[in-house]
Structure 1
């Protein structure tokens, strides 16, 4: 029994900040504004503006996931070809570790100062090259802007998650293919790609969950409207206009929990499959 005392503080932390809030959201989602059991909130979040917010959230998450998977995997591959203890790998690893956690108000301010209406890059392009980044509208504070900002931390996260899989490829596998007369293309097509695919797809699922549940960056960047689900939930919990509709916000939160739970279960299954080859 004493063997489990070491994890007791973690279990207490998990219960207070994860399990208890999740239970509150689940219970509140199935009660109406008067506190009576009801499924009206669940039905309401599946139509109208709430369904549109889910579609935009999935569009945002899927787009930034694809960008992160493609660019992040290419960068991870370039890093994996260098020396294991080389300067390039240490620098890229450190930078990606910092940028993957760089979000919220700080990241939003950095992008506004750089690409905003009077940002450094915006003014430089306009004054020196005659290029107006906002000729077709203020896209930075809308869904395209969120895609750009989210990609900033999705790409380094992909590098961190996918690099160990690339490092798990054994040189003996390539040598075996070459000894049998196979080309580099055959090695990647028949050996490396099947081994890496579970890790690649699993990393993509992790990126999707990361983007789908992100809140602080979008809240700081989008000051008007609620284009995605996390901002819709914020409106129900803190707005002075939507009073007494907290349970509808909890229903939206429950829907997000379900989506993220499904994604993480699939991620765990893919991770287990990838572990067979990368031990």
Structure 2
């Protein structure tokens, strides 16, 4: 017995040493990625943070630290743009969450595999379709001289694509497919036994969704909403190409401040606005990650 234990101890020690070597090699393999992340994201973030709190005296060229840039970014037209971006993101994300859930449920319950694959493939493409091409497509279709606008006489009925609600409709074009991709795995994780148990106890379809399915899906729904909010909040090219300054958005204000289109010498205020966006995005991610972990536990 003692001989067996004596032989087992060196084998266990060798296995432990081999495991430590694998972990060391794994850590070394991650170093290039960490270095790239530090350079690509860390350096710009530090430059933005430093610029948001500095001001340069044009007469003397002396640079000093101040809170004036951050204070200015939360007043006047800058605050209006920040609130406008939050409002646009909340409304478009809420609508995208509802319609994305309905479409994903139709896909999951469909008996036709080809329909399911086609919708998911199209969602993967459309979720990444944005910017100037998307703006041009909507202008050509629903703009003042668009094909659908002229054919249906929408302009006489008060339709205006270059407005807040027009921008919401454009954003939904890529937010709804994004929600479909996000919520489909959660819908597939719903157990068939849960529905059968609810039916055996006399529950209707509404009661099943009200008391079983939606509480389980709630973390995933909120996580999807947060993801859609972040995507809409950071969008720039589509709004810039379609509405310009007609709708106040923080991303457009940052571009105007950096380019000096409205006021000259507002570059540091633009960096302060960027810092405001980072804070909002950080709060969004702080909500999204715990919800995602909780959803994974429920549907695992």
Cα displacement (A) at 1:236? 1.2
Deviates more, 1:58-67 or 1:214-223: 214-223
Aligned residues: 272
Q: Unpaired runs of 5+ in structure 2? A: 1-23, 58-62
Secondary structure of 2:284's aligned partner: helix
Q: Find 1:218's aligned residue among 239, 262, 269.
A: 239
Cα displacement (A) at 1:179? 2.6
**Partner Cα separation in structure 2 for residue 225 and residue 132 of structure 1:** 20
Cα displacement (A) at 1:225? 5.3
Cα displacement (A) at 1:240? 4.9
Find out whether 1:170 has 2:191 as its counterpart. yes
Q: Name which structure has the greater RCO, CA cutoff 8 Å, separation 6+.
A: 1
Find out whether 1:179 has 2:213 as its counterpart. no
Per the alignment, residue 233 of structure 1 pairs with: 254
Q: Give 1:106-255 correspondences, 5 Å limit.
A: 106-125=133-152, 131-133=153-155, 136=158, 139-224=160-245, 227-255=248-276
Contact 1:33 1:247 in 2 (8 A): no
Cα 1:228/1:134, change in 2 over 3 Å: farther
Q: Give 1:32-71 correspondences, 5 Å limit.
A: 32-34=55-57, 35-71=63-99
TM-score, structure 2 as length reference: 0.85
Cα 1:199/1:113, change in 2 over 3 Å: same
**Partner Cα separation in structure 2 for residue 241 and residue 57 of structure 1:** 19
1:210-254 deviation per Cα after TM superposition (whole angstroms, max 9, x unaligned)? 101111111111234561000000011123553322110000000
Q: Find 1:72's aligned residue among 96, 100, 106.
A: 100
Contact 1:33 1:245 in 2 (8 A): no
Q: Find 2:44's aligned residue among 4, 21, 26.
A: 21
Cα 1:82/1:6, change in 2 over 3 Å: farther
Contact 1:104 1:217 in 2 (8 A): yes
Cα displacement (A) at 1:269? 0.9
**Partner Cα separation in structure 1 for residue 201 and residue 166 of structure 2:** 50
Cα 1:182/1:140, change in 2 over 3 Å: closer
Q: Find 2:118's aligned residue among 52, 74, 91.
A: 91
**Partner Cα separation in structure 2 for residue 212 and residue 241 of structure 1:** 22
TM-score, structure 1 as length reference: 0.91
What RMSD in Å do the two structures reach over aligned CA positions?
Answer: 1.8
Q: Unpaired runs of 5+ in structure 1? A: 126-130
Higher Rg? 2
